[in-house]
Structure 1
Amino acid sequence: MVRFIRWLLFPFSILYAAVVLLRNWAYDNQLCNSTSFHFPVIIIGNLSVGGTGKSPMTEYVLRLIKPHLNVAVLSRGYGRKTKGFRYVEVRDSARLVGDEPLQIKRKFPDALVTVCEDRVYGIQQIQDQIDAVLLDDAYQHRKLRPSFSILLLDYESLQHPIIPLPTGNFRELLHGCKRANVIVITKCPQEIPAQVKFSIESRLRKHTQVSLFYTKIAYQKLQTTNGLVLDSTQLNDTVAVVITGIAKPQPLLSHLGPQFKRIIHLSFRDHHNFSKDDLDNISQTFQHIGTSQKVIITTEKDMQRLPSSFIAQHPLYFLPIEQEFLFNQANTFDAIVKRAFSS
C-alpha cells in the first residue's frame, strides 16, 4: 500500500528533481553564494536518503588522517532534540547530539566532534582550533564550498532506476555525481560480476570521470559496551533478538542469520529514539523465548540510543562494521584522501 501511494506521488518527484537541478545550477553558476575556507574541508555524502555507510567511511577517513592532522568532525546530528552548535562529549546522549556523532566521539574520544545544522556556522566556531574539517552527510549543503568531496553510492541502488523523492529515495539524480572528487560504491558483494561492474561504471561515466572505488561491509566481532566478545562457538544453539533502527537492515540480517539458531527481528525506523514501550516490548520478546541460550543484538549506531539501564539489564551485544576496499584499491584511495587533506 505504501509503495502504491509513493507511486501516486511521482508527479511531485518530477517537480522535486526540477527544483534540485535549478538550485544546483544556481550554485554552480555562482548565482547563490557558497563559503569556502583556507584549510581543507572534506565532505562525505550521498545522493540517496541514508543507508550508504557514511559513518564507517567517516571513521575510516578519521582513522587515516588523525595521526597526521588535527582534524575535527562536524555533523548535522540527525535525530537529536537540540538545535544549533554543540561540542559532542563522550557522556552525552543521542538525544542531545545524535547517534552517529556520539558513536564517533566514543570511538575517538580525543577527536573534536561537533554538531550544527548550519555547516558554515559550525566550521566558523572551530576554525581556530583545528587544521582541517571532515563533514558527514553534507553533499547537498551547497552554502558550503568544500575543498574535496567523497560521494558514496550503495551497490544495490545502482541496480535499479534512480528515482527522486517522494516516490524514490534519492535527494538528487546521478547528475549530482559531477560535484564529487571521488566516488565509492559501498555495500558491494565479495564478488562483483564483470558485466555488473561494467554497467555501473558506464552509467556513472555519463556524468563524471573521477576515480571509482568499491567497498564491502566488514563485520567485526559481536561485543558488549565493555568490550566483552560473544563466544562464537555456541551461536548455532542461540536465539537472537535483533534490534535495528537503521535505513537498510537486510545486509545485517543476512550476515547474522546463518550463524544463529533463530533470529527474531524487531525493526524500527532509521535514527529511532526508543520509548519506554519500545524497551518493554523488546524485554518481553526476549523473556518469552523458551531457551536459556539467547541474546539481544543491535548495531553500533542503535546502541548509542539505548539507555544504559536497559543495556545493564540484558545480555546485549552490538556488531561494529568497517569499510573494506575491494580490488586492492585501499592504498590508492588512502593516497588520494591524504593529498586532499594536505592541500
Structure 2
Amino acid sequence: MRSFRILLFPFSLVYGAIVIIRNYLFDKGFLKSTGFNIPIIGVGNLSVGGTGKSPMVEYLIGLLKDRYAIATLSRGYKRRTTGYILATEQTTAIEIGDEPMQFHIKHPEIAVAVGEQRIEAVPQLLYDRPEIKTIILDDAYQHRSIIAGLNILLTEFSNLYANDFFLPTGDLRDQKDSAKRADIIIVTKCKAGMHESEQSKVRNILQPLPHQHLFFTSIRYGLPYHIIDRSNRHLNRNTEVLLVCGIANPEPLKKYLQDETKSYDAMYYDDHHIFSFDDLKEIRKRFNSISHEEKIIVTTEKDAVRLIKFKEELQALPLYVLPITVSFLFNRAMAFNDLVVNFIESYKTGDHIQPE
C-alpha cells in the first residue's frame, strides 16, 4: 500500500499546489473570511483520518454546556441530506451524520446543527437559537471563510503532521504551515504513561510558535453500556468479544481489547458505513459462531448511532457500546480548560479583538 501511494507522488504535488494557492488567496485577502460577534471555537486537523476530533468536541461540550448556551456546527459528513439542519427529537444519523447525531444523543440540551456552507449556517443557527453564546465548529480548520476566535489543531502521536505529506502519497489535506494559525495544538492518542522525554521529542518535531499552547492527550475508555437499555457490562480476561466498527483508525481500540479481554474477533467496515439488515444478519451469524460462553459484541459510539435504527432486533442481542473520553497528560487539563473559558469570557469584557 505504501509503495502504491508513493507512485501517486505527482498527484500529491498538484494537490499540494492547489492547497497552497488557496491559502495564499485567503492570507492576502483575495478570498474573504467573515467573523461573527460571538466566541467561535474551531476544532480540526491537517490530515484525513481519525485524529480524535469527536472526543475533543465532546470534551469541550462537557466543559462548557453548564456555563454557556452552546452549539456545535458540523458539515455532516456522509449524511444523505444537504443544506442547513438543526437537530430535533425526530432527527436521525442519516439526516445529520454520525458525529453530530452522537453529540445530539449524548447532549440533547445543546443545539446541534449541520451545514456544508457554514458561512450561511452560522447566521441561520443564531436566528433559530438566539440564546446561543458560543459555537464549536467541528472539523473546520480548512473552512477559512469563517474566522474562529480560537483554533484548536489536533495531530495524532503516531502520525504527526510535521512528518506527513500531501494526499494521496501522505495523509495531509492542508499544508504544514497552516499549523501556524492554531492557538492550541493537541497531540492526541498518546500512551497514557507517556514519558516527558517523548513530550520533548514531539515538541522539537512540531516546533510550536511562542504564542501556541501545546498539549498531549490519551484516550480513556469508559464502561460499556448496552445499546438499547444502557445497562453496564464490565470487560474482563474471560470475555470473548466480537468487535463491530466502521471508524477511520481502529488501532487504539484493538489494542485496548487485546489488553482487557480473553480474545476478540472483528468485523471492520468503511468509515461512516451505513449498516443494513444484511450486515446485522452477518454480525449475528459471526457472533453465534463464537463457542465461548461469556461473549459480547462491542461497537463504538459512532457506529452505535448508525445501528440504533434496528432497535427491535437489538433488544435481545448483547451489543455494547464502548464510550471514550479525552484525558490530558502531565496534569494539564486545568491549563487547557482555563484557556478555553478565558477566551469566551474575553468577549464579555471586551478584551477580545473582534474579527473584521
Alignment TM class, shorter chain as reference: over 0.9
Contact 2:162 2:176 in 1 (8 A): no
Q: Report the residue type matching 1:262 in the other structure.
A: S
The answer to whether residue 58 in structure 2 is matched with residue 59 in structure 1 is yes
Residue 317 (1) aligns with residue 320 (2): yes
Aligned residues: 340
Native 8 Å contact 1:90 1:106 kept in 2: no
Structure 2: how far apart are the matches of 1:10 and 1:159? 17
**Which segment drifts farther, 325-334 or 152-161?**
152-161
Check if 1:268 corresponds to 2:269: yes
1:139-288 aligned within 5 A:
139-158=141-160, 161-205=163-207, 209-225=211-227, 226-232=229-235, 235-288=236-289
- Which residue number corresponds to residue 43 of structure 2? 44
Q: Could you say if the C-alpha distance between residues 103 and 200 of structure 1 is closer, same or farther in structure 2, counting changes exceeding 3 Å? A: same
The answer on whether the counterparts of 1:90 and 1:102 sit within 8 Å (CA) in structure 2 is no
Provide the residue aligned with 2:6 in structure 1. 7
> In structure 2, do the counterparts of structure 1 residues 246 and 90 end up closer, same or farther at CA, with 3 Å as the change threshold?
farther
Aligned-partner Cα distance in 1 for 2:51–2:110: 23
CA distance in 1, matches of 2:125, 2:118: 11
1:261, CA displacement in angstroms? 1.9
Q: Secondary structure at the match of 2:278?
A: helix
Map 1:23-172 → 2, pairs under 5 A: 23-128=22-127, 129=130, 130-158=132-160, 161-172=163-174
**CA separation of 1:282/1:304 partners in 2, compared to 1, >3 Å: closer, same or farther?**
same
Question: Which letter does structure 1 place at the counterpart of 2:206?
Answer: L
Task: Name the CA shift for 1:300/1:126 in 2 (closer, same or farther; >3 Å).
Answer: same
In structure 1, the residue matched to 2:15 is 16
Q: Counterpart amino acid of 1:57?
A: M
Give how far 1:15 is off: 1.6
**Contact 1:35–1:143 under 8 Å retained in 2:** yes
Specify the SS of the correspondent of 1:157. coil
Please state whether the residue corresponding to 1:215 is helix, strand or coil: strand
AA in 2 matched with 1:27: F
Q: Counterpart in 1 of 2:340?
A: 337
Unaligned runs of 5+ in 1: none
In 2, the alpha carbon distance for the partners of 1:242 and 1:160 equals 32
Give aligned-pair identity as a percent: 39
Is the CA contact 1:238–1:295 (under 8 Å) kept in the aligned structure 2?
Answer: yes
* In structure 2, distance between residues paired with 1:301 and 1:197: 30
Separation of aligned partners in 2, 1:267 and 1:169: 21
Deviations 1:27-66 (A, max 9, x none): 0111111111011111100111131111111111111112
Q: Distance in 2 between matches of 1:160 and 1:252?
A: 25
2:352 alignment counterpart: none
Q: Please state how far the C-alpha of 1:195 moved relative to its aligned partner.
A: 4.1
Structure-1-length-normalised TM-score: 0.94
The 2-side partners of 1:57 and 1:206 are apart by: 20
Q: CA deviation at 1:237?
A: 2.4
Indicate how the Cα distance of structure 1 residues 10 and 208 shifts in structure 2: closer, same or farther if over 3 A, else same.
Answer: farther
Change (3 A) 1:160 1:206: closer
- TM-superposed CA distance for 1:206, in Å, is 6.3
Q: What runs of 5+ residues in structure 2 fail to find an aligned partner?
A: 348-356
Alpha-carbon distance in 2 for matches of 1:103, 1:188: 24
| Distance (whole Å) between structure 1 residues aligned to residue 90 and residue 293 of structure 2 | 33
Does the 8 A contact of 2:47 with 2:161 survive in 1?
no
Find the residue that maps to 1:12 and give its secondary structure: helix
Work out whether residues 178 and 208 of structure 1, in 8 Å CA contact, stay in contact via their aligned partners in 2: no
CA distance in 2, matches of 1:337, 1:140: 20
How far apart in 1 are the matches of 2:221 and 2:234? 15
| Structure 1 residue 279, shift from structure 2 partner | 1.8
